[in-house]
Amino acid sequence: MKIHYFDHAATTPMHPSVASAMLELMQGPGGNSSSMHALGRAAKHQLNRARDSVSAALGCKPAELLFTSGGTESDNAALIGAARAQRKRGRSHIITSAGEHHAVLQTCEWLAKEEGYSLTVLPLERDGRTSPELVQAAITPETGLISIMHGNNEVGTLQPIEEIGQIAKASGAIFHVDAVQTLSSMKFRLHELPVDLMSFSAHKINGPQGVGALYVANGTLIESIQHGGSQERKRRAGTENIAGIAGFAAAIDICVNERENKQPFMDKLRKRWIELLQTHVEVPIIINGSEHHYLPHIVNISFIGVDTETMLMNLDMEGIAAASGSACTSGALERSHVLRAMDLPQEQIQSAVRFSFGLGNTLEELEDAALKVGTIVRRIRNNY
């Protein structure tokens, strides 16, 4: 059976050049980058080279880049570390949105429940955007931290982070942005953005799983939440994953070099997929998210009258990999908290499927996959 992988927002296949770069180090003599001997110094050189490469691609200084185990750790380190630092300044109020990834939402909720912070969770507009006006209205003299994602992982909506960042800066709050989904298609010059903390993950850009990064702008107050060593300028204890970090650097280098061609092609795939489904699917389909502000590789579609769980199981049987939302929660087959936060009708929420594209996808395979989706929908309808 031919497999159509349309779940790149969950994870991406590793690029062969990334795997080669990692394998070379993994088959080498090894060495701990904190050791003083020759092998340790060689590992440190690899670490520094990767940090220079990634920071150059992101438009920040190497010293502002902290390597982590992935997006979830980066979010946790940013939110908990910044919240604790800000509370020492008398600021214990946090603002976020109801459409954030659970790595942000649940961390903020934990801070409120377990450490006594006050928390404001803002609703989303119907297109999935967070209103800067609502952010402004929610700010109090005690607001110390604002966290709004760059591009939504479920509907692909891009957020007005520049405008929200200026609001945060004017209030004296630290501004954190989860940019895990946008790294593959957006150009970053971090030193030009009003952002204090930004989270990234390698496996969303055809790099290895288990590696990420956190941008910490110079002067940003943040406490370490991991202890036991002086690695990463004493901000993240633990032996660095040299092969994984080198793989991250290789992936981001490929990402930067190919972005100019990749972004329009992903948008072409997205638009063609919508056109084909409108042709072959015999139920109304609705695109969830922003019509104008969206990531080119993600499209969230409601097949009105067709239950999400039933649809996903049938897609899987036909070799089509898609999702109902975040890969961190879709295994539980929960209804999307993002679509609920957008206050969409229940018929849209209960019939939504996310398709996301990337390395290996072609226009030609969309034709075959769309025919299969049309057949699936007819089969499901005929069984009722």
- Burial status of residue 338 (CB atoms within 10 A of its CB: 0-12, 13-18, 19 or more): buried
Cα dihedral sign for 47, 78, 255, 188? negative
DSSP string, 196-242: SEEEEEGGGTTS-TT-EEEEE-TT--------SS-HHHHTS-S---H
Q: Which of 60, 108, 255, 328 is catalytic?
A: 328
Residue with tokens 């200084």: 61
- Measured distance CA(349)–CA(108) in Å, rounded: 25
The CA distance from 28 to 63, in Å, is 27
Is 328 known to be catalytic? yes
Residue whose token pair is 């903020």? 108
Helices of type H across 59-186: 71-87, 102-115, 132-138, 161-171
What is the signed CA dihedral for 178, 182, 187, 190, rounded to 10 degrees?
Answer: 0
**Residues with catalytic roles:** 328
